[in-house]
Structure 1
């Protein structure tokens, strides 16, 4: 067992009250992936760890070796705050949704430089006050790619029917894109060829190009339903933040 302190570059996904004056933080770090650590005294006014015990921020942490299975934060410095408490409610809600998906999808102690970079990109997009719906769809598609679940979206994987003809289904059971003829009995939400083409674009374009992609409300709604259905099936989990978002947007 390594008894040395560990220095990590981390993004805080979630902060929960723990005991009387502490916070339990869920983070994703560049060095060790997802983990949980206690910030002692973070609920005290003026506590030294109070300013890093907030979700949606990037921090530098020094962790003590786990005791009883729990790591404690010895030191912490803020590096960047992506979503402040005075940000638009919609941006805060989508940041919570993205964090919840990341927490549900990623196993503990499995580092991924690609996923760490994705979180940085997505939270930066939210901070820039760009289209939060587009940012959420971008994250969902890149998360599927990270998990090895993103289907080939060049056309139907059963019969080979290509775009742009007809409607399609992103079938979680088949793990692939199906045309209406091959997937007509599938319960997955329908996707127009335009929605499939937009998903291909979001999945392939670099982060810097995402703000320039224009998406109609109708296609956005198609993607939201299809990707949500696909993710829920594979993660065996339906994010609570998504239900809150629907109430907020309604």
Structure 2
């Protein structure tokens, strides 16, 4: 059967001599794999379509829900600037790999497609990459059913002043100090960081403006979101390791 979809290339893998299998996050058909024959050959007309972060119209044959075979395609947004910048490419790769690991094959992908598209656009528009990724991670957690509870204490439900709250990635939200014994390693959190986390939980990436966050708060948010992602999803991502290396060398 012939399919026509709008999709974003979130993974590209060499297959055989000159062929490539791309994984697409599509707006209406979920996540699909498509074989692109001869894509690695010098004169291939599909060479540009297999690049990570590329948004395009893809036409492919597919039977019985298996691997598709590309017939034709047209680029909508190449996102070429993302691939030229080491920092942007690292964050964009993380966004794509994270979605690839969370999104199941053929799962309805409209929301995921919109959020990833907004994430890539924001990175290309030079918005603060760590803030963009934190908002994106929050959307991933929420849609996967692990969105943190950021108002009332996850144990007693009471709403306390921000200065009296901790964060418990293990329990999935804020923890008042009276309930700290339920999770002694719960993290300290500044009122500023907690306010931003609540903003991230409400915010749609498509409406993300230029959020001014000082460096110390960005570092705090990075640690908090990493703790939640590790505890709630437990994914080991190659792109995350690369981001850690960039942090290590202050790149």
Q: TM-score, normalised by structure 1?
A: 0.90
| Alignment match of 1:56 (pick from 53, 56, 67) | 53
1:44 aligns with 2:46: no
Q: Compared with structure 1, are the counterparts of its residues 18 and 228 closer, same or farther at alpha carbon in structure 2 (3 Å cutoff)?
A: same
CA distance in 2, matches of 1:142, 1:188: 22
CA distance in 2, matches of 1:29, 1:76: 14
CA distance in 2, matches of 1:183, 1:62: 55
Q: What does residue 71 of structure 2 align with?
A: 74
**Structure 1 spans left out of the alignment, 5+ residues:** none
* Contact 1:37 1:73 survives alignment (8 Å): yes
Q: What does residue 194 of structure 1 align with?
A: 192
* Contact 2:82 2:124 survives alignment (8 Å): no
CA distance in 2, matches of 1:148, 1:213: 26
How far off is 1:158 after superposition? 1.9
Q: What does residue 30 of structure 2 align with?
A: 33
* 2:8 match: secondary structure: strand
- Per-residue displacement from partner, 1:152-193 (whole Å, max 9, x unpaired)? 312322231434223411323x23322344245344543223
CA distance in 1, matches of 2:103, 2:145: 12
CA distance in 2, matches of 1:68, 1:149: 29
How many residues align? The count is 246
After superposition, residues 99-248 of structure 1 pair within 5 angstroms as: 99-159=96-156, 160-172=158-170, 174-183=171-180, 185-187=183-185, 189-207=187-205, 209-248=207-246
Q: Compared with structure 1, are the counterparts of its residues 64 and 171 closer, same or farther at alpha carbon in structure 2 (3 Å cutoff)?
A: same
**Structure 2 spans left out of the alignment, 5+ residues:** none
Q: TM-score, normalised by structure 2?
A: 0.89
Between 1:211-220 and 1:73-82, the stretch displaced more is: 211-220
* Contact 1:24 1:38 survives alignment (8 Å): yes
* 1:211 match: secondary structure: coil
1:9 aligns with 2:24: no
How far off is 1:215 after superposition? 1.4
After superposition, residues 90-101 of structure 1 pair within 5 angstroms as: 90-101=87-98
How far off is 1:98 after superposition? 0.6
